[in-house]
């Protein structure tokens, strides 16, 4: 692998980006804050005169505390630092919002598994909206494909019962079924399917993403409280506080957390510059990330990207505390279930059928 080549290309892209970024500068409150942030970062880095802005920014980031514990002024500084850095790095005027959680809202999600056709447009939309790394590829939504129905049942296994007839005699007690040779299987899932077209006749699809648990095992497992539930019931991560120990990834029964094993690669042209501190801002190496119901959108009253992208309307989203919301109507009128109820995590993500 030409790791070095890839790196040098990335550096080149960053340099190109700087020029573009300087080309179009808009004066705004954010820019003012940004300048303040740079000034602050420069103060921190004052002893090292030769250090570049990027180094000064990362120095400031290194010593910042957990986002939820910062004062408003510290938050503004931290955000200004990030905006400066992302704008330089990606050559796009990048904003990092800190839109607060709206009051009186508990976000819920309902997914119609009878309608899902396994096209994975939701996955694509999610990757684009949330600035996921393209290489190594990180995807927050995983669509499981399951074989439909009974064609896996085979007659020849019908009489391979246990106990088999053997030298001790044929007692003929168990007439069918066997621990190792089942007559038929169902429910075996895989998520690497690549069909010519969807939906396939013999398949059903089951998308899985973060279930935004009421009692999240990941939050319990994190040694530094880098992951926590926001007031709207969404489980979020402070990417600058995560130590990369991956205890949360082990704890999650939905396999919903993704780790940045290497430096995430996000091409400048694909980068979404409208970001949120706890949501879709570009992540760094060695931290955990996950679906946040597109926090940067839903806190502003918009739908998550996957809901908008679904071509068959299988995805519904809304406020669980509002009886008139779409998602509450689904819960009231459809056949609804939650995935892996035995784990007792009480997800805010529901599956339903018509």
Partner 1 sequence: MTMKKQIASASEKPIAFARDFFSYAIKGGNLYYGWLLFLSFFVLVGLYTAFVQMTTGLIVTGATDQIVWELFISNFIFTAHIAAAAVLVVIPAYIYKRKDMKDLAVLGEIIALTFVTIGLNFIMFHMGRPERSWHTFPGLGIFNFPNSMLTYDIIVLNVYLGINALAVSYLLYMRYIGKPMNTKLYTPLIYVAVAWGPLIHIVTAFILSSNAAISMWHTAVLPFAFLSMAGASGSALIIIFFLLIRKFSKMDIADSVIDFFSQVMAWSLGIIILVFAAEFFNELYPATHHAASLEYMMHGHHGLDAYVPWFWATMALIVIPFFLLLNSKIRKSYNSLLPAVSFVVFMIILIEKPAVLVFPAFSPTPLGEYAVYHPTAIEIFNVLFIWAVGFITLTLLTKGAIGVLTGEVRDSNTVETSGGAK
Instruction: Pick from 151, 170, 190, 324 the residue near partner 1 by CB under 8 A.
Output: 190
- Exposure b/e, 315-339, CB count within 10 A at least 16 = b: bbbbbbeeeebbbbebbeebeeeeb
If one asks whether residue 172 binds partner 1 (CB under 8 A), the answer comes out as no
Distance between CA atoms of 207 and 202, rounded to whole angstroms? Answer: 17
Instruction: Pick from 109, 259, 350, 351 the residue near partner 1 by CB under 8 A.
Output: 259
If one asks whether residue 3 binds partner 1 (CB under 8 A), the answer comes out as yes
Task: Provide the mask over 77-116, with x wherever binding to partner 1 is found by CB under 8 A and - wherever it is not.
Answer: ----------------------------------------
CA-nearest of 208, 220, 217 to 338 is 208
If one asks whether residue 209 binds partner 1 (CB under 8 A), the answer comes out as no
C-alpha pair distances (Å), 136 with each of 11, 124, 261: 17, 15, 8
The residue among 129 and 289 lying less far from partner 1, judged by its C-beta, is 289
CB of 268 to partner 1, least distance (A): 21
Helix (H) or strand (E) holding 10: helix 3-23
If one asks whether residue 327 binds partner 1 (CB under 8 A), the answer comes out as no
Instruction: Pick from 10, 183, 251, 331 the residue near partner 1 by CB under 8 A.
Output: 251
If one asks whether residue 11 binds partner 1 (CB under 8 A), the answer comes out as no
CA-nearest of 238, 235, 239, 231 to 212 is 235
CB of 193 to partner 1, least distance (A): 13
If one asks whether residue 262 binds partner 1 (CB under 8 A), the answer comes out as yes
CB atoms under 10 Å from CB of 169, counted, come to 8
Instruction: Pick from 46, 188, 336, 353 the residue near partner 1 by CB under 8 A.
Output: 188
The residue among 12 and 225 lying less far from partner 1, judged by its C-beta, is 225
Instruction: Pick from 217, 233, 282, 347 the residue near partner 1 by CB under 8 A.
Output: 217
Instruction: Pick from 255, 270, 323, 341 the residue near partner 1 by CB under 8 A.
Output: 255
If one asks whether residue 225 binds partner 1 (CB under 8 A), the answer comes out as yes
The residue among 161 and 253 lying less far from partner 1, judged by its C-beta, is 253
Residues 67/227, Cβ–Cβ less than 8 Å: no
The residue among 285 and 302 lying less far from partner 1, judged by its C-beta, is 285
If one asks whether residue 221 binds partner 1 (CB under 8 A), the answer comes out as yes
Distance between CA atoms of 172 and 169, rounded to whole angstroms? Answer: 9
The one-character DSSP state at 283 is P
Written as one string, the DSSP assignment of 16-60 is HHHHHHHHS---SHHHHHHHHHHHHHHHHTTT-TT--HHHHHHHH
CB of 298 to partner 1, least distance (A): 25
β strands within the chain, DSSP E: 95-97, 107-112, 142-147, 189-190, 203-208, 227-229, 235-237, 258-259, 274-276, 288-289, 315-319, 335-337, 349-353
Residues that bind partner 1 (CB under 8 A): 3, 62, 66, 69, 136, 142, 144, 179, 188-191, 208, 217, 219-226, 241-247, 249-255, 258-263, 285-287, 343
């Amino acid at each position: 692998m030409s790791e070095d080549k890839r790196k040098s290309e990335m550096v080149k892209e960053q340099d190109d980006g700087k020029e573009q970024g300087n080309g179009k500068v808009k004066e705004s409150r954010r820019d003012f804050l940004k300048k303040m942030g740079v000034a602050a970062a420069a103060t921190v880095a004052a002893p090292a005169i030769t250090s570049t802005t990027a180094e000064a920014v990362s120095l400031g980031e290194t010593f910042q505390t957990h986002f939820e514990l910062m004062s408003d002024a510290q938050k503004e500084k931290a955000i200004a630092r990030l905006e400066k850095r992302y704008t330089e790095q990606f050559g796009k005027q990048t904003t990092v919002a800190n839109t607060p959680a709206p009051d009186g809202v508990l976000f819920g999600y309902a997914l119609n598994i009878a309608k899902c056709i396994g096209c994975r447009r939701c996955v694509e939309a999610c990757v684009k909206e949330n600035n996921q790394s393209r290489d190594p590829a990180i995807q927050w939504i995983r669509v499981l494909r399951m074989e439909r129905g009974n064609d896996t049942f085979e007659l020849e296994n019908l009489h391979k019962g246990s106990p088999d007839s053997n030298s001790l005699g044929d007692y003929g007690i168990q007439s069918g079924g066997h621990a190792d040779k089942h007559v038929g299987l169902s429910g075996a899932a895989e998520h690497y399917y690549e069909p010519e077209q969807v939906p396939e006749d013999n398949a059903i699809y089951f998308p899985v993403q973060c279930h935004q648990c009421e009692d999240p095992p990941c939050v319990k497992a994190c040694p530094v409280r880098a992951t926590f539930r926001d007031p709207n019931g969404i489980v979020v991560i402070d990417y600058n506080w995560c130590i990369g120990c991956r205890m949360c990834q082990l704890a999650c029964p939905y396999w919903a957390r993704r780790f940045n094993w290497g430096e995430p690669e996000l091409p400048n042209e694909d980068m979404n510059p409208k970001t949120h501190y706890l949501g879709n801002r570009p992540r760094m190496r060695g931290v955990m990330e996950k679906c946040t119901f597109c926090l940067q959108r839903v806190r502003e009253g918009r739908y998550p990207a996957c809901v908008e992208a679904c071509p068959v309307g299988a995805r519904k989203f809304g406020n669980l505390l509002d009886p008139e919301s779409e998602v509450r109507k689904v819960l009231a009128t459809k056949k609804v279930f939650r995935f892996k109820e035995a784990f007792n995590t009480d997800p805010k993500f529901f599956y339903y059928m018509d």
